[in-house]
Amino acid sequence: MRSAIIGLGVVGCVHLQILAAQKRCVAALCDINKEAMSAAAASYCPNTPIYTDWMTMLDEISPDAVHICTPHYLHAEMIITCLDRGIHVLCEKPLCMKPRELSEILAAQERSGAQLAVCQQNRYKPSFRFVKEYLTDKKIRAAHGTLAWSRGEDYYNSAEWRGTTAYEGGGVLINQALHTLDLLRELCGDPEYVVSGKDNLTLRGVIEVEDTLSASFFGKTPFTFFATNTGSMDLPPQIQIVLEDGENVVWMPDTVLAGGVANRFSAEPDRILGKSCYGSEHATLIDDFYTCIQSGRPFPIDGTEAARVMRLIFAAYESGGNKVKI
């Protein structure tokens, strides 16, 4: 398997470190920032060709798999191009920025013989897998998810695409909170409607997108969701669940309260790469991606699966306080 990475920012370098640690063949790197890319290559794959144009890289290298770690607005075109060339794709979240792109990506996945995988790595957390198994024979009455992190002016000024409607596609919901919303939906199922409101409470004049959003989702199992980037620090995301028998279950990345017991799931510090909020599951997901390709087993979070949380996000952005069908 000859792999290539497009985008060598923070998360792209995480992918590179993992590929190097797993002793996989990195056939090429691509980024418009040649200096930063060269530094990353020197550290992990010094003899690997580097490119500043991704189409040229595909033409000359013809990799077996591509990791797409670029800003959001580039995802759809890159995914579709690679799939149409029969190249396996692992794309960082979000899958795309617009409903139209979602349809185009799913059509490309359907006609391609290659696999599409989306990096929603929190599904691989031992704590989340524990909760899913614990809830197997239990009925959820209602649930609520919360993400309260801190992203200030320096963060948004670190790259021109951040905080823009055209290039990021939204704010806290599509970027930071997608993972927690995805886990909440995975536990409660797909809702039918949403009523949502959003605001920019602290960064008006700095960003075009929301820093805070609240949503109520309606369906067989109703749930609510709140996300903000206005906190003084990053707090652990939480999912609170009330079961039909009245039991309360609380998921956090490293702790699950269930059955009156606090179950601990400590991350291995040396497995956390990049930002601490990424967690340590990128390596597990990437290893599973290549195992699926080599064994012919479908990757569990493909375009169809990743589209489920994207539809919630698109509907929440459309709502504006009105009830919207998902």
pLDDT of the residue at 32: 96
- In this structure, the dihedral spanned by the alpha carbons of residues 120, 121, 126 and 131, taken in order and rounded to 10 degrees, is -10
Q: Please, what is the Cα angle at 168 between 313 and 77, to 5 degrees?
A: 90
Cβ atoms of 18 and 278 within 8 Å: the answer is no
Confidence at 280, pLDDT banded by 50, 70, 90? confident
Is the predicted pLDDT of residue 71 greater than 60, yes or no?
A: yes
Give me the phi and psi of 119, to 5 degrees please: -85, 75
Interval 3-29 mean pLDDT: 96
What's the pTM value of the predicted model, to 2 decimals?
0.95
Q: Give the list of residues 6+ apart from residue 42 with CB closer than 8 angstroms, or none.
A: none
* End residue of a domain, out of 86, 121, 156: 121
Is the predicted pLDDT of residue 195 greater than 70, yes or no?
A: yes
Is the predicted pLDDT of residue 274 greater than 60, yes or no?
A: no
Is the predicted pLDDT of residue 272 greater than 60, yes or no?
A: no
* End residue of a domain, out of 89, 106, 121: 121
Tally of CA atoms within 13 A in the half-sphere of 124 that contains its CB: 20
Is the predicted pLDDT of residue 269 greater than 60, yes or no?
A: no
Confidence at 316, pLDDT banded by 50, 70, 90? very high
Q: Give the list of residues 6+ apart from residue 17 with CB closer than 8 angstroms, or none.
A: 44, 273
Give me the phi and psi of 231, to 5 degrees please: -70, 165
Residues 130 and 108 in one domain: no
Q: Which residue has the tokens 């028998």?
A: 245
pLDDT of the residue at 1: 94
Nearest Cα to 120, choosing from 65, 180, 72, 66?
Answer: 180
Cβ atoms of 220 and 96 within 8 Å: the answer is no
Is the predicted pLDDT of residue 270 greater than 80, yes or no?
A: no
Question: What's the rounded Cα separation, in Å, for the pair 163 and 94?
Answer: 15
Residues 98 and 196 in one domain: no
* In a domain? residue 287: no
Using one digit for the tens of pLDDT, what is the confidence trace for 146-163?
999 999 999 999 999 999
Task: State the amino acid at position 175 in one-letter form.
Answer: N
Q: Which of 212-221, 279-288, 289-298 has the lowest mean pLDDT?
A: 279-288
Q: What's the token pair of residue 221?
A: 């199992």
Residues 102 and 229 in one domain: no
Q: For strands 88-92 and 65-68, give the pairing.
A: parallel
Q: What's the token pair of residue 42?
A: 């020197």
Residues 170 and 315 in one domain: yes
pLDDT of the residue at 267: 64
Residues 138 and 185 in one domain: yes
* In a domain? residue 137: yes
Residues 269 and 321 in one domain: yes
Cis status of the peptide bond prior to 222, with omega within 30 of 0: no
pLDDT cut 70: percent of the chain above it: 96
Average pLDDT, the chain: 95
Domain count, the chain: 2
Using one digit for the tens of pLDDT, what is the confidence trace for 45-63?
999 999 999 999 999 999 9
Cβ atoms of 114 and 89 within 8 Å: the answer is yes
* In a domain? residue 78: yes
Q: Which domain holds residue 146?
A: 125-276+302-325
Residues 39 and 90 in one domain: yes
Cβ atoms of 115 and 90 within 8 Å: the answer is no
Question: What's the rounded Cα separation, in Å, for the pair 6 and 202?
Answer: 33
Q: Which of 260-269, 286-295, 303-312 has the lowest mean pLDDT?
A: 260-269
Task: State the amino acid at position 17 in one-letter form.
Answer: Q
Interval 307-316 mean pLDDT: 98
